[in-house]
Amino acid sequence: MILDLTRLMLFPMLMAFAASSDLLTMTISNRVSLALVAGFFVLALASGMGMAAIGLHMAAGAAVLAVSFTCFALGWIGGGDAKVAAAAALWFGFEHLLVYLVYASLFGGALTLALLEFRRWPIPYALTGQQWLLRLHHEESGIPYGIALAAGALMVYPETIWIRAVDLSRFVAG
């Protein structure tokens, strides 16, 4: 039961926290990425995932880390975004990686367009005391891409081995 609850809640909660943190502060703490990585290894071992499968998941995470840090070095994304994307890829492995990246890209494009439009309009006076909103509205601010990464991850997660392994009948009132 605890293993199933952990499968159901750990990854989604950490991704939601990364998104909200990025929205409110334009940063994602390294602790979130470290918790995602640690959570993966704990669940992989507790679930009986074989070393070969763990290795493939690690390769997926490493591939995304290499690409995302290149994007970070070029100034296209933030460092927190790069680390969270790689940590999410670790959970998905190659099986769901492409779908995750497509979803994250689509959500990222929509978020970018929405923020560009939002920044064209003045902030209502009643909201001018909200520092996070002012930061988000500022034209020089980046895009809190952690939101798109989390949205993409939450779209894909229900299709993964983590959720397929959950005995949902335990959670349904009968």
Q: What is the reported pTM?
A: 0.92
Structural domain count of the chain: 1
Q: Is the dihedral of CA 88, 91, 92, 93 positive or negative?
A: positive
What residues make up the domain containing 6? 2-171
Whole-number Å distance between alpha carbons of 137 and 65 = 29
Under a CB-based contact definition with an 8 Å cutoff, are residues 109 and 58 in contact? Answer: no
Q: CA nearest 49: which of 14, 98, 99, 3?
A: 3
Under a CB-based contact definition with an 8 Å cutoff, are residues 100 and 156 in contact? Answer: yes
The set of long-range contacts for 17-20, using a CB threshold of 8 Å and a minimum separation of 24, is 18/80, 18/84, 18/146, 18/149, 18/150, 19/144, 19/146, 19/147, 19/149, 19/150, 19/151
Q: Decide if pLDDT at 174 tops 70.
A: no
pLDDT the model gives residue 170: 72
Dump pLDDT digits (tens) for 70-88: 999 999 899 999 999 999 9
Q: For the chain, give the number of residues.
A: 174
